[in-house]
Amino acid sequence: MEDKLILAIESSCDETAAAVVKNGRTVLSNVISSQIALHTLYGGVVPEIASRKHVEKVIPVINEALKEAGVTLKEIDAVAVTYGPGLVGALLVGVNAGKALAYAAGKPLIGVHHIEGHVAANFIEHKELEPPFACLVVSGGHTHLVEVLDYGKFNIIGHTRDDAAGEAFDKVARAIGLGYPGGPKIDAKAKEGNPDAIRFPKAKVEGAVYDFSFSGLKSAVLNYLNHAKMNNEPVNDADLAASFQKAVVDVLTEHSMALVKERGYKKLAAAGGVASNSALRASLEAACKKAGVAFYVPSPILCTDNAAMIGCAGYYEYLKGVRSGPDLNAVPNLKLGER
């Protein structure tokens, strides 16, 4: 089959990203313009500031991706763009840029589901990986345990009832005063601490063994901090970070392994920003090894938001014949598996 080149655009949150991907799994360029420094000032992503920054960066980032890949717009076979879920104003920038480029160059346009992209990051890193497999998707906005039945085809087994795993990391980091973005800060701090120093609750959802709940854990951390403050007791931030992280990692690992065992999967993948957490990677790896299950996870740069993953997911949609019309719109609360 002839080589297929996908130009991909991602702007769902605070990263303006563009990539050129060959045949779904070979990344020719992967340009990411992060807004982290900008949002750090406010302790979190400010949607309107994110949108404005995307407007400024989207064309330069796309140009850079084409240049790095050494291809022109004419040589591209299709334009793939994230159209949901995410911040509406942020998504609209990428969607509009993608539409304009596809229209001007006379190329097909493919709207891609952001979470489908996160899962697809595994295909880039692990050339031999093919569905079906079980996958834990953990990002700033999503926590899902799914069966990946085929490319772009999912069966949702469990999801969070309240906060997403990444959201819990971010909120707890803010409470300890580690700042934004919380995940990497807690990850680093936890390395200096004792994960068994403080026993935090591992939330279970009654009657739904695969579902997650992180708001109780977040409250437990806040209560711990308030209690210490009221009693004038010192708080060991490193122990707190390590103990909180362990509580999250243990639940994510237990649920993932339960799914793998119950359905007889021999392959487990992890995806999304939180999958770059060093403790989670180590825990899943060890549990899989023990269970004789192959474990897959993208390198950290492909776990957090990027456009290469959108190019990969877009390629498989392209092969299926999926095309978006000129009326493609942003869908901020797009559900996994929905088109």
Query: What residues line the site for ligand KG4 (CB under 6 A)?
Result: 13, 118, 139-141, 166, 169-170, 181-184, 187, 272-274, 276-277, 304-305
Name the binder of 276 from Zn ion, ligand KG4, none, CB < 5-8 A by kind.
Answer: ligand KG4
Q: Which does 84 bind (CB under 5 to 8 A by kind): Zn ion, ligand KG4, none?
A: none
Nearest CB to ligand KG4, comparing residues 101 and 309: 309
Sheet holding 109-113, edge to edge: 26-34, 15-22, 5-10, 78-84, 109-113
Which is nearer to ligand KG4, 304 or 324 (by Cβ)? Answer: 304
Which of ligand KG4, Zn ion, none does residue 170 bind to, with CB < 5 to 8 Å depending on kind? ligand KG4
Q: Which is nearer to ligand KG4, 132 or 300 (CB)?
A: 300
Partner from Zn ion, ligand KG4, none binding residue 213, C-beta < 5-8 Å depending on class: none
CB atoms within 10 A of CB 75: 14
Smallest gap, in angstroms, from Cβ of residue 21 to ligand KG4? 18
Radius of gyration of the chain (CA): 20
Locate all alpha helices (DSSP H) within the chain, ordered by sequence. 36-40, 47-69, 88-105, 114-125, 165-176, 182-190, 215-230, 237-263, 278-291, 300-303, 308-320
Q: CA dihedral in degrees (223, 138, 69, 110; nearest 10)?
A: -120
CB of 17 to Zn ion, least distance (A): 10
Residue 99 or 113 with smaller CB distance to ligand KG4: 113
Measured N-to-C along each axis, helices 278-291 and 182-190 cross at an angle, to the nearest 10 degrees, of: 70
Q: Contact residues for Zn ion (CB under 5 A)?
A: 139, 305
For residues 57 and 246, which CB has a smaller minimum distance to Zn ion in the complex? Answer: 57
Distances (CA, A) of 300 to 118, 126, 141, 185: 12, 14, 17, 14
Q: Which does 169 bind (CB under 5 to 8 A by kind): Zn ion, ligand KG4, none?
A: ligand KG4
Please, what is the minimum distance in Å from the beta carbon of residue 334 to Zn ion?
13
